[in-house]
Structures are given as structure tokens and as C-alpha cells.
Amino acid sequence: WQKREISNFDYLMYLNTLAGRSYNDYMQYPVFPWVLADYHSQTLNLSNPHTFRDLSKPMGAQTTERKQKFIQRYNEVEKSEGDLSAQCHYCTHYSSAIIVASYLVRLEPFTQTFCSLQGGSFDVADRMFHSVKSTWESASRDNMSDVRELIPEFFYLPEFLTNANHFELGCMQDGTVLGDVQLPSWADGDPHKFILLHRQALESDYVSAHLHHWIDLIFGHKQHGSAAVEAVNTYHPYFYGDKMDLNNIKDPLIKSTILGFISNFGQIPKQV
């Protein structure tokens, strides 16, 4: 990878596989980074550093204001192992079954998966994945319970952005009927152009020079421990599945709670 003999996409897929992530498991689906921060310009300038997301920071620390709120949350909770109020920055996760299914909801079999996770029907329209720009704003700035990252399909599969099956996804409060995913202006309403430019962004010189910082956060030494605390990158203890020995937990209620946490909210990849 350092010799540029494989692409950034291939390297990330390799790391995901090493860390136990798989297309076969919604709860441990491959995780990819948001690489852009510009979803409003008419043209995408990949030579401008401000076009890109800060890959050295987790999604919860993309803005100074939000970062300080998560640090405050961490400092306010006394450390209590095995407790639902355990000390951490984030009580939600950047990758989970519902996040994966919500991104891919316009494609089968993910449509049925999403509905089954939602109790048999689609979610409230305003909470559905409908716009790349608004999803970025939610995950990077606006919503304290949203720190989601992306999935590999954002870099190769235009079909997931269109409602080719004509599912009735509902109507938002402002009257917008949900259909195809709203794309940034620079994509000109064309899913193929979006995927092309998004993949070019992933393989750009800027991302190539900074991707290792994100890898440290998700797969490396900033995943947990003091380095994670310093990087504002700690999650609820239940998300660290390989750090918890469920066989030693005798209380069935606690055990089922932990398993429910992992299945509903996702889990940290194995450290590589």
C-alpha cells in the first residue's frame, strides 16, 4: 500500500477482513470512512484540503463544539465497568446492522432486513437515509447520537442510491416524497458520477497521505485505552466484543443486555 501497488479501497477491504468484518454479517459489516466534507459546491476540487474530512479525528470530533460536548460527557460519568452508564465518549456506534440496512434500504435483500429491524415497516421518513449531504451534517455536526461512518458501496455501487424498485418510503414533514437519494450538487443528480468522483476522492493524494490516521482510530492503537481517550474515540464497553468474556458473566440478564447492545448498536473491529 505504501508503495502505491494497491488502491486505498483494496487496502481498506484487506484491513476490514483482517479485523473480522464481513459482508455476511450486518453487525460486523466492512466500515469505510467519510472522506469528503464538501457536499454543497457545484464542482468538487480534490486539490483543496478543505474539501476533505479530517481523517485524524473520529466523526464525533469533526467540529470543535461537538468534540467538547463529548469530552464533557466522558468527564461527567464516573467509571463503572459493566454498567450501562460506563465512562465513554459515545454510546452509539459508527457501524451497526441498522446503519448498513438504512444505507442499502432501496436494494433487496436489505429492504426486508431494514423492515425486520424496524419491527416490520419502514422508519419515519425524516429518519430514513435520503440525502448524502444531510447524513454527513447529522453524523459530523448536528446529531449527538449519530457518529456513523460509511460502507464500501459508497465507492462502487450507484444502484443503492436509486429507488429502482419504487418502494413507498414515505413522505417527510416538509412534503418531500422519498425516492432516490439526494446527491451533492457536484454529482449533477447522476449516481454514476457521484460514485466516480467519490472513488476519485478516496484514491486522491490527500486521502492517501492521511488515511493511516483514520486506520489508527478504527483498527489500530487509538481504538481503545489511553490513546483512544486522548483521541476522543472511546465507545461503550459493550461495543468492545473481543474485550468482554461473556462466558464469565453468570447473570443472564446482564449477558442478554450485552448481546442486545452488540446486535443493535454494532461492535468495534478486532485490533490489527
Average pLDDT, rounded, for the chain? 91
**Model pLDDT, residue 196:** 98
So what's the pLDDT on residue 131?
96
Asked if residues 52 and 201 have their Cβ atoms less than 8 Å apart, the reply is yes
The model's confidence at residue 239, banded by pLDDT at 50, 70 and 90, is confident
Band the pLDDT of 234: cuts 50, 70, 90: very high
For residue 177, list its beta bridge partners.
171
| Structural contact between residues 232 and 255, judged by C-beta atoms closer than 8 angstroms | no
pLDDT tens by residue, 249-258: 777 887 777 7
The CA-atom distances, in angstroms, between 26 and each of 5, 22, 31, 107, 190 are: 30, 8, 11, 15, 28
**Model confidence pLDDT, tens digit, residues 107-150:** 999 999 999 988 888 888 888 999 999 999 999 999 999 999 99
The pLDDT value given to residue 85: 60
Which tens digit of pLDDT belongs to each residue from 181-211? 999 999 999 999 999 999 999 999 999 999 9
The pLDDT, as a whole number, for residue 83 is: 52
pLDDT tens digits, residue range 211-223?
Answer: 999 999 999 999 9
Identify which has the larger pLDDT, 29 or 119.
29
Residue 89's pLDDT is: 94
Q: Are 206 and 215 in contact (CB under 8 A)?
A: no
Q: Is the pLDDT of residue 163 over 90?
A: yes
Cell of 127: 429518519
Cell output for 230: 486522548
Residues 82-106: what's their mean pLDDT?
86
CA dist., res. 130 & res. 180, Å (int): 7
Look up residue 148 and give its three cell numbers.
456513523
| Domains of the chain, first to last | 8-263 (1.10.1540.10)
Say what the pLDDT of residue 205 is. 96
What is residue 168's predicted lDDT score, i.e. its pLDDT?
Answer: 92
Work out the pLDDT band at 79, boundaries 50, 70, 90. Answer: low
